[in-house]
Structure 1
Amino acid sequence: MSEALVAVGTAGTDTTVPAVSGARQFWRRLRAQRAALVAAVVVALLVLVALAAPLLTALEGQDPTTYHPDLIDSARGGVPIGSFGGASADHWLGVEPQTGRDMFARLVYGARVSLGVALGAMVVQVLLGVAMGVAAGLGNRWVDLVLSRITDIFVSMPLMIMALALLAVVPDGFPRPVLVALILALVAGWSTMAKMVRAQTLALKSLDYVSASRLSGWSSRRTAVRELLPGLAAPVITYAALLVPGNISAEAALSFLGVGVKPPTPSWGQMLTSADVWYEAAPQYLLLPALALFVTVFAMTVLGDGVRVALDPRAASRLRVGTGRKREARAETAVPVPATAPRSVPEKEEGA
């Protein structure tokens, strides 16, 4: 984004100073929130691990689908041989009970599935929600009524029941991660986004510059692209950031129920499906995917809240006003100590 030049007149002379760009203001507000910065680093590391999953597993010398029957104790029901679930130099986090598949390889490839499904569903949710919300807000009374009722129907749909029904009737040959992402996008998320965008569009439509563009003969499409979408960017980005952790949790729940991602494709929710049987004999089989899910969802939620505050000037001003009031209150309650005692003035003697 190029910086605008603002002319400021001071003492009869005009000086030109660069205005701070919107991206720079956003970054400055985000940096002021330490929790959001830590969450952003965690999310960046998770994305990096997901992208580099083939490289990391090649560095370990393992893959997520190869069975290692020699590393499990069949006499004990398939418990991994050795301490910490069979962790060693060849298997950094141990192996999976009954199958002997490498846990580290399955975790990093599971990150690809979980993040890929969540981000893919979020993109479809944003596109569909923005399109429906802007169309309802800019359309006439009947268009608004029809689109709003369709949105209300999808808002009232129970996600898990609809997802279970749709996943049960789709053929097994369809790529399962793509199917889960589409179902999450079409059943949940976009309808709430559409209602939020519609409300924002109705508020922006009453502003002077939007009314002027419509009165000048611009089409609804041109008005939406040139005038409304820039004003909708902040709330849409904020809501999109908060959609990702919900999508991750929903994908894990579907995989846990056995209707999500199918084996041998690794998934954190799928790993938790049979982990409750092994939590005493091999606790890492339960703790590792559960910890990965918790850290990912928590970091995404904190980052989404930080993005909301950074994109909302009113929230930033409230923070500044609150800080200033606290500083003033502390200054008022503090009792100043004089450096030197005040000099007394002698009284005038009588008759002087």
Structure 2
Amino acid sequence: MSEALVAVEAAGTGTQPVPAASGARQFWRRLRAQRAALVAAVVVALLVLVALAAPLLTAIEGQDPTTYHPSLVDSARGGVPLGAFGGIGGDHWLGVEPQTGRDLFARLVYGARVSLGVALAATAVQVAIGVVVGVAAALGNRWVDQLLSRITDIIVAMPLMIMALALLAIVPSSFPRPVLVALIIGFVAWGTIAKITRAQTLTLKELDYVAAARLSGWGTLRIAHRELLPGLAAPVITYAALMVPANITIEAALSFLGVGVKPPTPSWGQMLTSANVWYQAAPQYLLLPAGALFLTVLALTVLGDGVRTALDPRAVSRLRVGTGRKRESKADAGVGKEVRS
């Protein structure tokens, strides 16, 4: 609430304003009440930890993601890994890649760095552009609003995959591919969050505490920073949490089509591209990146839905497992008791 409005209310009643309950505390209580979201958060944390610790994990194994081991594949059979289960052993924990003999565990954990890094970077670009454009459209005059809204409509109408394919095809190969993929996804897919931000800002700017801040002489930038952005945090964080798994899928699809991350940099989508002819001779080469991709997208989707429900208790979770209303009502009741005490 605006400092100006708090001061006016306190002066009118002759009492000191009572601080509201911590929004962060309510959020964590509601999120803890959803067991599926907690499990998803643990899975996501483990995946991020594995991605960050990829150099350490591969050093412990004694391998790296780019070294070829031709002696570990059977050239007479077209490069099928030697040994049981794709060459799994003490030196190669998940076996080796067909034809090249590169360590599959090393490529899988380094691929997690690429997939998660591209998705998070693309989401950050989308949020930054979308919030700036949405707030500027809502606070600007009629011409500014019309111009930015039409640009946003064009961005939303653009076919993301076609635009990404076209841009990735014309950019020189010397440009770092993971950075390029993240930038293209971010710059092509910010329209929806801009629309959400604009609609929410139009609602917030009509509230009393924003009007009080305006009457107290605050400028537009200060009002946007102090009054509007805190109110935009919940919808923006909610939508950003749901964009991350979508961006992982887009990066995997682009790499699968051969225009995303280029070899020898490992990526889950790129591994799936190479594995589509080995699903019978070396099924683990297909199942491991596909399973990692599925688990990551599922965990991020469940976590994003849990964040959405925790930030907006009036919303009903789309995922019924572990998000019962009884647990949510108990969490809200606990917050109410704490506030009263």
User: Shorter-chain TM-score: what band?
Assistant: 0.7 to 0.9
Q: Determine whether 1:241 maps to 2:247.
A: no
Identify the residue that residue 147 of structure 1 maps to in structure 2: 148
Shift of 1:274: 2.0
TM-score of the superposed pair, with normalisation by structure 1: 0.84
Shift of 1:320: 5.3
Identify the residue that residue 179 of structure 1 maps to in structure 2: 180
Identify the residue that residue 325 of structure 2 maps to in structure 1: 319
For residues 160-218 of structure 1, the C-alpha deviation after alignment (integer angstroms, 9 at most, x for no partner) is 11001100111111100000000000011x11000000000000111111122223332
Query: Residues 76 and 305 from structure 1, CA distance in 2 versus in 1: closer, same or farther, beyond 3 angstroms?
Result: same
Q: 1:321 and 1:86 mapped to 2: Cα distance? A: 47
Q: Determine whether 1:309 maps to 2:309.
A: yes
Shift of 1:315: 3.4
Q: 1:28 and 1:97 mapped to 2: Cα distance? A: 48
Alignment of 1:1-352 (within 5 A): 20-188=21-189, 190-315=190-315, 319=325
Amino acid at match of 1:102: D
Amino acid at match of 1:144: D
Q: 1:320 and 1:290 mapped to 2: Cα distance? A: 36
SS in structure 2 opposite 1:274? Answer: helix
Contact 2:122 2:247 (8 Å CA) reproduced: yes
For residues 114-155 of structure 1, the C-alpha deviation after alignment (integer angstroms, 9 at most, x for no partner) is 000000111111111000000001111111000000000000
For residues 56-92 of structure 1, the C-alpha deviation after alignment (integer angstroms, 9 at most, x for no partner) is 0000000000000000000000000011101010000
Query: Residues 244 and 322 from structure 1, CA distance in 2 versus in 1: closer, same or farther, beyond 3 angstroms?
Result: closer
TM-score of the superposed pair, with normalisation by structure 2: 0.87
Q: 1:289 and 1:249 mapped to 2: Cα distance? A: 12
SS in structure 2 opposite 1:88? Answer: coil
Query: Residues 209 and 323 from structure 1, CA distance in 2 versus in 1: closer, same or farther, beyond 3 angstroms?
Result: closer
SS in structure 1 opposite 2:315? Answer: helix
Q: 1:203 and 1:45 mapped to 2: Cα distance? A: 38
Amino acid at match of 1:218: W
Unaligned regions of 5+ residues in structure 2, if any?
1-17, 317-323, 331-341
Between Structure 1 and Structure 2, which shows a larger proportion of helix residues?
2
SS in structure 2 opposite 1:301? Answer: helix
Query: Residues 285 and 207 from structure 1, CA distance in 2 versus in 1: closer, same or farther, beyond 3 angstroms?
Result: same
Shift of 1:323: 6.9
Q: 1:165 and 1:19 mapped to 2: Cα distance? A: 51
Aligned residue pairs, count: 309
Identify the residue that residue 337 of structure 1 maps to in structure 2: none
Q: 2:303 and 2:69 mapped to 1: Cα distance? A: 39
Q: 1:315 and 1:115 mapped to 2: Cα distance? A: 28
Q: 1:314 and 1:282 mapped to 2: Cα distance? A: 49
For residues 217-259 of structure 1, the C-alpha deviation after alignment (integer angstroms, 9 at most, x for no partner) is 3221111001100111111110110110000000000000000
Shift of 1:20: 4.2
Amino acid at match of 1:104: F
SS in structure 2 opposite 1:62? Answer: coil
Amino acid at match of 1:319: R
Q: 2:327 and 2:264 mapped to 1: Cα distance? A: 55
Amino acid at match of 2:195: K
* Percent identity between the two aligned chains: 80
State the superposition RMSD in angstroms. Answer: 2.1
Contact 2:33 2:327 (8 Å CA) reproduced: no
Amino acid at match of 1:257: L
SS in structure 2 opposite 1:100? Answer: coil
Q: Does 1 or 2 have the higher relative contact order (CA < 8 Å, sep 6+)?
A: 2
Q: Which moved more, 1:216-225 or 1:60-69?
A: 216-225
For residues 243-295 of structure 1, the C-alpha deviation after alignment (integer angstroms, 9 at most, x for no partner) is 10000000000000000000000000000002110000000010000000000
Q: Which moved more, 1:229-238 or 1:217-226?
A: 217-226
Q: 2:47 and 2:102 mapped to 1: Cα distance? A: 22
Larger Rg: 1
Contact 2:34 2:328 (8 Å CA) reproduced: no
Query: Residues 321 and 257 from structure 1, CA distance in 2 versus in 1: closer, same or farther, beyond 3 angstroms?
Result: closer
Shift of 1:38: 0.2
